[in-house]
A and B are shown apart, each in its own frame.
Chain A
Amino acid sequence: MGFLKVEGLTKVYDNGVVALDNVSFTVERGEFLGVIGLSGSGKSTLLRCVNRLVEPSSGRVILDGIDVTALDVPSLRAERRRIGMVFQHFNLVKRKSVLVNVLTGSLARQGTIASVLGSFSAEDRAKAMQCLEIVGLADRARVRASELSGGQQQRVAIARSLMQGPDLLLADEPVASLDPATSHSVMDHLERANKELGQTILCNLHFLSLVRRYTTRVIALKGGELAFEGRPEEIDEDWFKRIYGEQAREVGIE
């Protein structure tokens, strides 16, 4: 039981900031878990500790029975193939075409020399085009990534993740730099990955309205500590103030 288990996770950055403080929780396969909290509460650090873009100071992350925190570099690389990631600022390779950006999702399956020469199999190219079709950008495949709008870039990033085909998807405020309409289109794609492909999702979110609309369960961080764990509808005014502070007022996104 427990697809992803986070146990006593603590992160102290080199400058002494305690970004995560003994955080433990469990995620079941197929869940869409929302992670909320103020800016600086440790949400990004939490997601980055799961795939070890940030090295945890102590504690364990166990994915499907494998202790990710104990893996050496080659095994970590292999394990990362199962963990997709989507970022607030998309993090595409801007000077490369949309198609190449999607293909980078499959790099871990490619030989080093073949990928440096840019020779992807016809099969992989076809699959990349399919992923682009899913996010509705097949007609932009040859365009440079930098020429797309923010929402389109995030959809390319999702296509890259589809190409990778992970079991677990980490989304770090995927819509925080997008406008409301675009936000919903991006969130809908995440929802489809969750429902149709069975990807388990951990998603940092700023807006409670998005949390209520898309997630199946929520955890909240406050000053690096786990402050709430439960269903989205359980977050009433009282909890809201406890998570975001007395002064906070909820703003929505339509």
Chain B
Amino acid sequence: MKESETETTKPAAGASDRPTTAVTFAARIERAARGARVRAVLLDFLLVWYAVGGGLFWARWTFNGPAPPWERPESIGSSGHLVLAAVALVLALLWSRSRLSPGRMITWSTHPLLKADAPRPEGGWWRTVHGILVLAILAETVALGWKITEIDLVSLFSSEGLAGAGRIFGALFRPEFGILPLVLEKMIETIYIALVATVVAVPIAFLLSFFGAKNLMSGNRRSLAVYGAVRFSTNLMRSIEPVLWAIIFTVWVSFGPFAGMLALLVHSVASLVKLYSEQVESIDAGPVEAIEATGANRVQMVWYAVVPQIVLPYLGFTIYRWDINVRMATIIGLVGGGGVGELLMQYLGLAKYGEVGMIVVVITAVVWALDYASAKVREAIA
């Protein structure tokens, strides 16, 4: 007697007594298909552009061929690029005429209304000429990757290289214990940088996370706009690495632990908002509806129906974040954000590998210990 989610829907098109709904539904599919065709051409264009441009690059390197258009001085920023883009666009337009082009496959099979209509070639799409072309582009990517990252197995295993490796490893295994008090002092600074950043980030992210949860904000246009703004800005902040934030803040507030703390704070808020919001989005909607149905306001609803469902996962995420922050705090020191990383950078500059070894040992021990502790705590609350 349980109600099932997959109940039969009404055949909208066949219901002649209900012309208005049938028409609007067909019209919506038509509109969706129009938009999807444009996106498909765009995707195909990007793919072809990449494939042709990358192919020229690779050919030049491998066969010492003619320079690709963008490297010819006379064509920089002008005709060479345009010709390449135009060729790619023409090819993409041709390719997108087929319902099996990669752009069309992607847009159709990911659109909720068009999904059912996406073609499914027998024997799989990868067996069609379109799939084989995409596989060829993947192969091209591997070839380009080999060139671009300058993979060089000789220097990795030459005797000269191995001697260098021996020098640094040897020093790391003979740490200079004389500087241990200094290292510990700086390590404490690092831990506090992570701690303050985490503690300040949590309440900020907690508040923002409700505004970044789609299920709570899809009520009207205005709240959806707030949701979009929160998600967009935190995504942007998160996509800037903590090291970059540290560089920004060392310019802003000058070198030292404060800059490092701010960098971690910004990145932590952004990351926690994402994790927290996703948690809010996955809650059971039942209590939310029940509390809403009593006439309670939004704040009461969030406090009574949402918060009880998220506190435990939030705790887990927070401990996890604190973990990451301790690790990041050492890295941030390398660019001037204070703490033990700064010390590491100084000794590296002086090529004092024994001291470097000491610092690495302390960092490893502390990170390992905190890792272990937070895993235990997370286990306990799960």
Whether the Cβ atoms of A91 and B286 lie closer than 8 Å is: yes
Whether the Cβ atoms of A87 and B294 lie closer than 8 Å is: no
Give B4-29 interface residues, CB cut-off 8 Å to A.
4, 7-10, 12, 15, 18, 21, 24-25, 28
Of B12, B296, B297, B308, chain A has the most CB atoms within 10 Å of the CB of B296
Set of chain B residues within 8 Å of A66, measured between Cβ atoms: none
Q: Which residue of chain B has its CB nearest to the CB of A112? A: B299
Provide the bound-state CA to CA distance between A241 and B289, in Å. Answer: 34
Set of chain B residues within 8 Å of A158, measured between Cβ atoms: none
Task: Say if the beta carbon of B295 comes within 8 Å of chain A.
Answer: yes
Q: Which residue of chain B has its CB nearest to the CB of A253? A: B1
Provide the bound-state CA to CA distance between A39 and B2, in Å. Answer: 9
Task: Say if the beta carbon of A79 comes within 8 Å of chain B.
Answer: yes
Give B162-206 interface residues, CB cut-off 8 Å to A.
none
Whether the Cβ atoms of A77 and B297 lie closer than 8 Å is: yes
Known: A85-B294, A93-B305, A104-B304. 16 other contacts (CB 8 A): A18-B10, A40-B3, A80-B293, A80-B294, A81-B294, A81-B295, A83-B293, A85-B289, A87-B286, A87-B290, A93-B287, A93-B309, A107-B300, A108-B296, A164-B295, A170-B293
Taking a contact as CB atoms closer than 8 A, the residue among B24, B112, B303, B308 that contacts A116 in the complex is B303
Give A22-69 interface residues, CB cut-off 8 Å to B.
39-40, 44, 51, 53
- Say which size band chain A's interface belongs to: 35 or more
5 tightest Cβ-Cβ pairs between the two chains A and B:
A40-B7, A108-B295, A80-B295, A91-B286, A107-B296
Whether the Cβ atoms of B290 and A92 lie closer than 8 Å is: yes
Set of chain B residues within 8 Å of A112, measured between Cβ atoms: 297, 299-300
Set of chain B residues within 8 Å of A53, measured between Cβ atoms: 289, 292-293
Q: Which residue of chain A has its CB nearest to the CB of B296? A: A107
Provide the bound-state CA to CA distance between A92 and B289, in Å. Answer: 10
Task: Say if the beta carbon of B224 comes within 8 Å of chain A.
Answer: no
Set of chain B residues within 8 Å of A94, measured between Cβ atoms: 287, 308
Set of chain A residues within 8 Å of B287, measured between Cβ atoms: 91-94
Taking a contact as CB atoms closer than 8 A, the residue among B24, B290, B303 that contacts A85 in the complex is B290
Contact A18:B18 (CB < 8 A) given known A108-B296, A112-B300: yes
Set of chain B residues within 8 Å of A177, measured between Cβ atoms: 2
How many B residues, CB 8 Å from partner? 35
Task: Say if the beta carbon of B345 comes within 8 Å of chain A.
Answer: no
Set of chain A residues within 8 Å of B21, measured between Cβ atoms: 12, 16, 18
Task: Say if the beta carbon of B291 comes within 8 Å of chain A.
Answer: yes
Quick one: CB contact mask for B349-382 with A, threshold 8 Å, 1 for yes? 0000000000000000000000000000000000
Whether the Cβ atoms of B308 and A85 lie closer than 8 Å is: no
Give B41-94 interface residues, CB cut-off 8 Å to A.
none
Q: Which residue of chain A has its CB nearest to the CB of B285? A: A91
Whether the Cβ atoms of B9 and A17 lie closer than 8 Å is: yes
Task: Say if the beta carbon of A88 comes within 8 Å of chain B.
Answer: yes
Give A80-133 interface residues, CB cut-off 8 Å to B.
80-81, 83-85, 87-96, 100, 104-108, 110, 112, 115-116
Set of chain A residues within 8 Å of B297, measured between Cβ atoms: 77, 107-108, 112
Set of chain A residues within 8 Å of B3, measured between Cβ atoms: 39-40, 44, 88, 173, 176
Quick one: CB contact mask for B270-300 with A, threshold 8 Å, 1 for yes? 0000000000000000110111111111011
Whether the Cβ atoms of A95 and B309 lie closer than 8 Å is: yes
Interchain residue pairs with CB less than 8 A apart (13): A16-B9, A18-B10, A51-B293, A80-B295, A81-B294, A81-B295, A89-B286, A91-B286, A95-B309, A107-B304, A108-B296, A164-B294, A223-B10
Provide the bound-state CA to CA distance between A76 and B24, in Å. Answer: 29
Provide the bound-state CA to CA distance between A17 and B18, in Å. Answer: 12
Q: Which residue of chain B has its CB nearest to the CB of A81? A: B295
Taking a contact as CB atoms closer than 8 A, the residue among B25, B295, B303, B308 that contacts A95 in the complex is B308
Set of chain A residues within 8 Å of B2, measured between Cβ atoms: 176-177
Contact A116:B286 (CB < 8 A) given known A53-B293, A88-B3, A108-B294: no
Set of chain B residues within 8 Å of A206, measured between Cβ atoms: 1
Whether the Cβ atoms of B25 and A16 lie closer than 8 Å is: yes
Provide the bound-state CA to CA distance between A93 and B1, in Å. Answer: 24
Provide the bound-state CA to CA distance between A4 and B309, in Å. Answer: 35
Set of chain B residues within 8 Å of A115, measured between Cβ atoms: 296, 300, 303-304
Task: Say if the beta carbon of A224 comes within 8 Å of chain B.
Answer: yes
Provide the bound-state CA to CA distance between A44 and B7, in Å. Answer: 13
Task: Say if the beta carbon of A167 comes within 8 Å of chain B.
Answer: no
Closest Cβ of chain A to B3, distance in Å, is 5
Task: Say if the beta carbon of A143 comes within 8 Å of chain B.
Answer: no
Whether the Cβ atoms of B294 and A17 lie closer than 8 Å is: no
Set of chain A residues within 8 Å of B25, measured between Cβ atoms: 16
Set of chain A residues within 8 Å of B289, measured between Cβ atoms: 53, 85, 87, 91
Taking a contact as CB atoms closer than 8 A, the residue among B1, B10, B305 that contacts A224 in the complex is B10
